[in-house]
Amino acid sequence: MIELTRVSRSFGAVQALRDIDLSVAENEFVAVIGRSGCGKSTLLRLIAGLLEPSAGTVTVSGAPVALMQQVPALLPWRTALGNVMLPVEIRRLPREQYRDRAVALLDAVGLAGFHDRHPYELSGGMQQRVALCRALIQQPRVLLMDEPFSALDALTREEMAGQLQDLHLARSATTVFVTHSIQEAVLLADRVVVLSPRPGRVRKVLGVDIPRPRSFGHNAHLEAVAECVAHLHDLLLHD
Ligand SMILES: Nc1ncnc2c1ncn2[C@@H]1O[C@H](COP(=O)(O)OP(=O)(O)O)[C@@H](O)[C@H]1O
Ligand SMILES: [Mg+2]
């Protein structure tokens, strides 16, 4: 679905990414972790087609592709539902058909009763949920998420990650999820790609072989979760 072959990207004298080989299978959920400045956002922008690689090739066979950024970037004059419907209106898709889907998505992330609120009436977490629904409205086959929960408090993050897992289990898309949270990566991903500090290279790809649904709380797999978290922690800390 997504294939990167010996991809490098430089900005002037700064090499952000070097020799990245990565393939993501259909419906796979891949998390990318690495230190600040190691090229994670650059990687997503390359996959989204917003940037050209300096060397190597990027191919994405799924469409449409949705990119969800770190800040929600909602239109302040539109309601929650209006914001979710924006891509539908821009692409002149059948509005009635997508409206039901928009309503169902907002309900699924706990925003029933808030459809008609404007962004300033919503908390940061609620705004990010609206942005998530907006990214999902066109049923993207490829979903790219750039630290989507990083501006939220810890509990809201956990809650959002849990909802994202539910959505992924219900209607999966091929997903590349950038995060600096090891916990989030282990909760959500089939595989975790650990990037080295700049220039970002693939340091390690760790398969997360823990049954779903996973949770941060008590479940049957605490030991496996702890082992995976510890392993990633060591990889990130001792580079
Ligand atoms: N448009 C750009 N122009 C110049 N330098 C950039 C640009 N985008 C990213 N960089 C540089 O590339 C490196 C990687 O950036 P980025 O992909 O944003 O890292 P991350 O998301 O992992 O924090 C950084 O050194 C950053 O300054
Ligand atoms: Mg970034």
Each residue's pLDDT tens digit, 76-118? 999 999 999 999 999 999 999 999 999 999 998 899 999 999 9
- Percent of the chain whose pLDDT exceeds 70: 99
Q: Whose CA is nearest to atom 12 of ligand 1?
A: 16
- Quick one: which atom of ligand 1 is closest to the CA of 38? 22
Ligand 2 centroid from CA 82, angstroms: 28
Backbone phi and psi for residue 197, each to the nearest 5 degrees, phi listed first: -60, 165
**How far lies 46's CA from each of 52, 55, 78, 87, 128, in Å?**
6, 11, 30, 21, 23
Q: What's the order of all strands across the beta sheet hosting 2-11?
A: 14-24, 2-11, 55-60
Q: Which residues line ligand 1 (CB under 6 A)?
A: 11, 14, 16, 34, 36-42, 198
pLDDT (average), residues 173-194: 95
Residues by chain with Cβ below 5 Å of ion ligand 2: 40-41
Q: Which tokens is 77 given? A: 């004059």
How confident is the model at residue 213, as a pLDDT? Answer: 87
Give start-end residues of each CATH 3.40.50.300 domain in the chain.
2-63+141-237
For atom 5 of ligand 1, which residue has the closest CA? 11
The CATH number of the structural domain formed by 2-63+141-237 is 3.40.50.300
| Atom nearest to 17 CA in ligand 1 | 14
**Percent share of the chain, pLDDT over 90:** 74
Nearest listed ligand to the Cα of residue 38: 1
